[in-house]
Amino acid sequence: MQPIRQGDVILRPLSNTTPSLGRQLPHLTLAEGEVTGHSHRISEGQAELYEKDGTLYLRVLSPEATLTHEEHNALSIPQGTWQVRIQREYEPEGWHYVAD
């Protein structure tokens, strides 16, 4: 599977045999917008979100799940385990996460 990108959120496929994904979170919000208040979230399908050492992991249990955001087209995420990354950009002051 190829990485999937929606705005500043990038999902990288992992092996389904990844041993530990950390603690399960009680929501399916992958990232919240710092500027707009919008969010990247799973709106349809069965999925679980985990956090380990500051990194989020998404496990899609149904054949696919839908990733939505108010300013982007909805994306279909295939069944599997995904690492959630937030795009960073470099400025003379250093690296920082892209604000959405």
Number of CB atoms found within 10 A of residue 18's CB = 13
Q: For 10-56, how does the pLDDT look when each residue is reduced to its tens digit (9 = 90+)? A: 999 998 777 788 999 999 999 987 677 789 999 999 999 999 999 99
- Cα dihedral 73, 79, 84, 85, rounded to 10, equals -60
pTM: 0.84
Residue 94 has a pLDDT of 74
